[in-house]
Chain A
């Protein structure tokens, strides 16, 4: 057993001084539960992100292109796997319990994976707008993260997500220089994905944010969101695409783009597991999980350590 703290005050003082919590530390239950929920949400989102993309791998338009697309999905699922291990180590739920909760609709995942992916353009828009939101969010968690095992894995995840984002940017560039059909498809995808991706950052942070106090987050939602708008509006404009935000404003003096009023209702619906594609997505994952139950049963019956 690692370190112990006699009170929450003492523990918070430890965090304030930049202390790092490790898996064998006797951390306060509330901190343990909060870190667990945070990592579980991240793991679920990596997995659901992988499942969102997987549907399109077989249809990738290009042989070598397909290798990069499937490698990205493998990364997401691999990140999920790593994160589920780290979450399970906190002793609250096993990996299987987490996955079964996810596929039963009992636990949450990020809002963007509650939406249908209708076209290849959507797939590319996810690589740009969603990954483009995920990277700064993850960096903000990593920067000052107080939980050691999570922080160390985040560093690798961020490196890989950065690579995905770059591939996404290259795809968007090619499409922007492409045919009318390609450009029209991608404009529709921007229209459909702009707001869900923007809402991924969540509403403005509250001043008494527990996640900030415990160093699980080092940047305010509104700051990250503003940075995202500032990055993607000029990029997409320069490619000749439009942004589906009639309230979007530009300050010529500072060359700053600011989004219009944000409707948070869709975010609330996804948090309540009632997004546009939530039910279908969960049902599909859960059916696939059930049809392979026999494999897990056989492995469970085998002597431990036979297989990873």
Chain B
């Protein structure tokens, strides 16, 4: 596996990992029990996708199923500068409207993203895409069901609109390609650049929120996903707070 392909896979894995992590924050404090269970299930799916993707990266050298410690080192032990996540999964959403809107924006983009690797030359990635595809539809359907209802009442519709306004620029950053994307496409790992699907995502966003003037969604400036959101430091400290007690410990 080339360094570019690794970079490409890490960006995907980091997004899934941190999205799942953010969803876990809502388990138990969502508006009602059904949503607690929904955020738990969706977090579980996203974290499992992350584990699949990290394990593909970890597998690139020796072969064989990587153990938890190898996956954990990739997931937790890199420096901030080494992460390749998009800022939408790094930002803290302390309002439930924001958490729900992010869930929808992210899963809608993720659904498209998996479609680019469903015929990957990498068999393990192809298999992961098949698992993810069935789960993503379900996630989006869940978010859609709630958003349908919340858009009908002025107060809740306003909260969603505010959340869309704040989060959309960050969510567009999902389409900011990892620096290895071209190499990954060259190697047949992915079929096309992610940002070729940006117009379709923008269409879905506009259809989902017809009364919100989202303006024109244009491709994000290329950063190679090198810059972390201000909230990242707190996020990663929280993630590693128990691991940090004793780096040699196995829990």
Contact = CB atoms under 8 A, between A and B. Distances in A.
A4 interface: no
B206 interface: no
A54 B28 contact: yes
Interface residues of B, number: 52
Contacts of B30: 292
A308 B27 contact: no
B159 A70 contact: no
Interface in A11-66: 47, 50-51, 54, 57-66
Interface in A195-230: none
A83 to B, nearest CB: 11
A63 B27 contact: no
Interface of A: 47, 50-51, 54, 57-67, 70-71, 73-74, 77-78, 80-81, 84, 120, 171, 174-175, 178-179, 181-182, 185, 285, 288, 291-292, 294-299, 301-302, 306-308
A63 B71 CA distance: 8
Interface of B: 17, 20-21, 24-25, 27-34, 36-37, 40-41, 43-44, 47-48, 50-51, 54, 68, 71-72, 75-76, 95-96, 145-146, 148-150, 152-153, 155-156, 159, 238-239, 241-243, 245-246, 248-251
B149 A298 contact: yes
A61 B244 CA distance: 9
Given A59-B238, A70-B43, A74-B41, A182 B246 contact: yes
A67 B37 contact: no
Given A54-B29, A291-B96, A292-B31, A66 B251 contact: no
B14 to A, nearest CB: 12
Contacts of A299: 149
A77 B40 contact: yes
Nearest to B241: A59
B47 A61 contact: no
A63 B50 contact: yes
B23 to A, nearest CB: 9
Contacts of A84: 33
B28 A63 contact: no
Contact of A70 (B24, B54, B68): B24
A307 B41 contact: no
A81 B25 CA distance: 19
Contacts of B246: 179, 181-182
A77 B27 contact: yes
A81 B15 CA distance: 31
24 contacts: A47-B33, A54-B28, A58-B24, A61-B72, A61-B249, A62-B243, A63-B51, A63-B54, A66-B20, A70-B44, A70-B47, A74-B41, A77-B28, A81-B37, A120-B242, A171-B251, A179-B249, A291-B96, A296-B31, A296-B32, A301-B152, A302-B149, A306-B145, A306-B149
B245 A50 contact: no
A227 B93 CA distance: 46
B152 A50 contact: no
Given A60-B242, A64-B71, A179 B27 contact: no
B250 A174 contact: yes
Given A70-B43, A302-B149, A63 B34 contact: no
Given A171-B251, A182-B246, A62 B27 contact: no
Nearest to B28: A54
B22 to A, nearest CB: 9
A306 B148 contact: yes
Contacts of A308: 34
A185 B47 contact: no
B251 A62 contact: yes
A178 B243 CA distance: 13
Contact of A295 (B54, B96, B242): B96
A179 B40 CA distance: 31
B71 A295 contact: no
Given A67-B48, A70-B24, A81-B37, A61 B29 contact: no
B27 A61 contact: no
B93 to A, nearest CB: 13
A80 B152 CA distance: 30
5 nearest A-B residue pairs (beta carbon)? A54-B28, A292-B31, A74-B40, A295-B31, A288-B29
B149 A307 contact: yes
Contacts of B239: 58-59
B37 A182 contact: no
B99 to A, nearest CB: 10
Contact of A74 (B27, B48, B145): B27
Given A61-B242, A74-B37, A179 B248 contact: yes
